């Protein structure tokens, strides 16, 4: 309220603003600054000064001086106490056995790292021309047809000409007599013998892995597998199997049941008879294997 009145009076009566009542001496600035102004005075516009409070000194209490009499009495009391109490003998030191240092455990050797086994990549098996079996021999009719084709031009420009040649050969073959056909039958038989020998040699010398790979490709193409030739001589059977087959002859019983009965009968045969049958079978098997190795 007072500040507002001062402001109004200072605005209306500028002469009053120069009086000492309306001025304030600042401790910082030497120039007097009028308090009254046209603007309203607030706590934000006016400066505020704070002075540190004076520290009140604390009274120190003087320490009491020790008198000579009190110090003398203390020394006497200590001397009397020392005379009364006998001096304690130091206790004998116990001999402490020196602790044996534990032997340092050897550091375990580092385990050798397992070497990674690098598996080789599977290599595709290639079948060469030498691995393939020999080609089958021709029939009497096909030998006749090939002779006719070779006698003529021997080449066909298209499939239709080849089909016409086969039809004409078939018509001529039907008109031939048995005597005329016999020449081609003999040629086919000779070629068949050569093929069988070559096939036996190939089957005995070719590994099983090669035959399996060949059969895979043949099955993929829809062809039949290559097996053991039917005309090849089989290895003779053992003495027991010969006895079992002879035992089954003339008996209308299943094969498994016949083998069971043959086993019992084989056990009841005298030892001399068994040895005789075994020696005969072993001789035949040895002769067959010797012949087989000779052909290979």
pLDDT surpasses 80 at 60: no
pLDDT surpasses 80 at 154: no
Percent helix, strand, coil in the chain, to 5, is 50, 0, 50
Find the helix or strand (DSSP H, E) in which 243 lies: helix 239-248
Q: Are residues 202 and 264 in the same domain?
A: no
Coil vs helix vs strand at 23: strand
pLDDT surpasses 80 at 190: yes
Q: What is the pLDDT at residue 26?
A: 44
Residue ranges making up the domain that contains 26 = 2-34
Half-sphere exposure of 116 (CA within 13 A, CB side): 2
pLDDT band at 295 (very low <50, low <70, confident <90, very high): low
**What is the mean predicted confidence (pLDDT) over 282-289?**
88
Find the helix or strand (DSSP H, E) in which 34 lies: strand 33-34
Q: What is the pLDDT at residue 186?
A: 94
| Rounded CA separation 158/58 (Å) | 137
| Rounded CA separation 52/274 (Å) | 137
pLDDT digits (tens, 9 = 90+) for 155-169: 778 888 888 888 999
Number of domain units in the chain: 3
pLDDT digits (tens, 9 = 90+) for 228-262: 888 887 888 899 988 988 888 888 888 889 889 98
Q: Are residues 213 and 282 in the same domain?
A: no
Q: Are residues 250 and 215 in the same domain?
A: no
Q: Are residues 287 and 246 in the same domain?
A: yes
Q: Are residues 275 and 209 in the same domain?
A: no
Q: Are residues 249 and 214 in the same domain?
A: no
**What is the mean predicted confidence (pLDDT) over 94-122?**
74
Contacts of 238 (CB under 8 A, 6+ apart): 281, 285
Last residue of a domain, one of 187, 220, 253: 220
Q: What is the pLDDT at residue 249?
A: 86
118 part of a folded domain: no
E strands of 50-201, at which residues?
A: none
Q: Are residues 289 and 244 in the same domain?
A: yes
Check residue 126 and report its DSSP letter. Answer: P
- Which among 141, 138, 137 has a CA at the least distance from the CA of 195? 137
CB-CB contact of 184 with 144 (8 Å): yes
145 part of a folded domain: yes
**What is the mean predicted confidence (pLDDT) over 15-36?**
48
65 part of a folded domain: no
Q: What residues pair up with 24 in beta bridges, in sequence order? A: 33
- Which among 45, 38, 36 has a CA at the least distance from the CA of 18? 36
- Indicate the length of the chain as a whole number: 296
253 part of a folded domain: yes
């Amino acid at each position: 309220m007072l500040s507002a009145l001062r402001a109004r009076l200072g605005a209306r009566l500028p002469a009053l603003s120069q009086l000492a009542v309306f001025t304030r001496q600042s401790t910082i600035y030497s120039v007097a600054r009028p308090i009254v102004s046209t603007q309203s005075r607030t706590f934000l516009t006016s400066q505020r000064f704070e002075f540190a409070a004076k520290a009140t000194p604390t009274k120190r209490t003087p320490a009491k001086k020790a008198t000579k009499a009190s110090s003398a009495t203390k020394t006497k009391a200590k001397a009397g106490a020392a005379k009364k109490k006998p001096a304690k003998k130091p206790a004998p030191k116990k001999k402490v056995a020196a602790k044996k240092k534990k032997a340092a455990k050897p550091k375990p050797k580092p385990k050798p790292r397992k070497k990674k086994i690098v598996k080789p990549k599977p290599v595709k098996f290639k079948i060469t021309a030498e691995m393939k079996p020999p080609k089958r021999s021709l029939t009497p009719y096909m030998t006749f047809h090939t002779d006719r084709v070779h006698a003529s031009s021997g080449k066909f420009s298209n499939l239709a000409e080849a089909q016409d040649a086969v039809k004409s050969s078939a018509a001529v073959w039907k008109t031939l007599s048995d005597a005329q056909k016999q020449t081609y039958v003999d040629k086919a038989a000779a070629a068949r013998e050569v093929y069988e020998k070559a096939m036996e040699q190939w089957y005995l010398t070719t590994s099983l892995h090669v035959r399996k790979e060949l059969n895979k490709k043949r099955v993929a193409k829809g062809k039949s597998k290559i097996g053991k030739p039917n005309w090849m001589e089989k290895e003779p059977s053992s003495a027991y199997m010969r006895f079992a087959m002879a035992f089954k002859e003339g008996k209308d019983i299943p094969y498994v049941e016949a083998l069971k009965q043959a086993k019992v009968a084989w056990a009841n045969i005298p030892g001399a008879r068994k040895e005789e049958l075994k020696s005969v079978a072993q001789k035949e098997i040895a002769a067959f294997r010797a012949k087989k190795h000779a052909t290979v």
